[in-house]
């Protein structure tokens, strides 16, 4: 799970790093020193969870959590604070948990264990409702469900993903996408992967030129002669 640590105290952030190091399933992808930086890094890094201090200069943790709840799929939030009197207001934000400083290893472990069966938003981020594709959009990182993807196409130095709502660029290679999604995608050309679930047809245009038809779009994807055999076998299965 990708974690953003938010606290205005450097020593507090370092302590959370040490505590999380005992949990290999959790990766700290960034730190933020205040609420505005937390929102900015959430947009750019797309963490699955925030360890979020409540008392910070400027925008506090409660305001950050309120802004995050406006997202379609907000990250999970575990509040961390030295002031237990904030508990009632904090729980109105529906956090995954509420930790009082100094956080003990046992208490953190308990909070992380609760994320095994959390809110619907966290379940979506863990792939229980479908795989996600990380894309670059208007200078920010976003996620789209694999179910909405038609195909991936390698162009120059980038990979383009074509989906129900348009197109976007990826940092990953086609090989990395194959490793990530496994049988959910199908290689049809050295430069193209399709969403296997959307495969509906294979058209031969002559001279060994093939194109793949996909459900939900009029766009076709070129298939190489060699890989067209696999496509045909997939359709015949």
Residue 157 tokens read as 């130095």
Query: 2-125 with 132-236: one CATH topology?
Result: no
Q: Which two tokens stand for residue 90?
A: 């904090």
pLDDT of residue 163: 92
The pLDDT value given to residue 29: 92
Residue 163 CA to residue 165 CA, distance in Å, equals: 6
Q: Fill in the DSSP letter of residue 74.
A: P
pLDDT per residue as tens digits for the range 144-176: 888 889 999 998 888 999 998 888 888 889 999
Q: What average pLDDT does range 75-100 have in this prediction?
A: 78
pLDDT of residue 98: 87
Predicted confidence (pLDDT) per residue in 26-70, tens digit: 889 999 999 999 999 998 888 889 999 999 999 999 999 988 887
32-36, 88-92, 105-109, 163-167: least confidently modelled range: 88-92
Res. 21: pLDDT tops 70: yes
Min mean pLDDT across 101-105, 126-130, 212-216, 233-237 is at 126-130
Average pLDDT over residues 122-136: 58
More confident residue, 127 or 42: 42
Query: What is the predicted pLDDT for the residue at 129?
Result: 39
Of the given ranges (98-102, 151-155, 193-197), which has the lowest mean pLDDT?
Answer: 98-102
Length of the chain: 237
Among 2.40.50.1020, 2.60.40.420, 3.40.50.1580, 1.10.760.10, name the CATH number for the domain at 132-236: 2.40.50.1020
CATH topology (fold) of 2-125:
Rossmann fold (3.40.50)
Measure the CA–CA gap between 134 and 48, rounded to whole angstroms. Answer: 13
C-alpha span between 62 and 89 (Å, rounded): 8
**HSE of 74 in the Cβ direction (CA atoms, 13 Å)?**
18
Going from N- to C-terminal start, the domains of the chain cover 2-125, 132-236
Distance CA 172, CA 161 (A): 11
Decide if 45 contacts 94 (C-beta within 8 A).
no
Residue 90 pLDDT > 70: no
Global pTM? 0.52
pLDDT at 114: 72
């Amino acid at each position: 799970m990708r974690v953003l640590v938010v606290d205005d105290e450097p020593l507090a952030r370092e302590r959370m790093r040490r505590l999380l190091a005992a949990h290999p399933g959790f990766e700290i992808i960034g730190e933020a020193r205040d609420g505005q930086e937390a929102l900015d890094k959430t947009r750019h890094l797309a963490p699955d969870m925030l360890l979020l201090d409540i008392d910070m200069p400027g925008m506090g943790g409660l305001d950050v959590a309120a802004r995050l709840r406006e997202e379609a799929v907000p990250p999970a939030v575990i509040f961390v604070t030295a002031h237990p009197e904030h508990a009632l207001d904090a729980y109105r934000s529906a956090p995954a948990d509420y930790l009082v400083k100094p956080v003990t290893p046992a208490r953190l472990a308990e909070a992380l264990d609760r994320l095994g069966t959390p809110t619907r938003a966290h379940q979506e981020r863990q792939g229980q409702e479908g795989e996600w594709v990380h894309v670059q959009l208007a200078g920010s990182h976003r996620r789209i469900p694999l179910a909405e993807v038609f195909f991936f196409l390698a162009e120059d130095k980038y990979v383009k993903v074509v989906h129900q709502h348009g197109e976007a660029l990826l940092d990953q290679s086609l090989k990395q996408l194959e490793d990530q999604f496994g049988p959910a995608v199908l290689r049809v050309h050295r430069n193209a992967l399709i969403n296997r679930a959307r495969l509906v047809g294979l058209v031969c245009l002559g001279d060994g030129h093939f194109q793949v038809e996909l459900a939900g779009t009029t766009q076709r994807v070129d298939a190489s002669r060699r890989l067209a055999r696999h496509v045909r076998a997939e359709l015949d299965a």
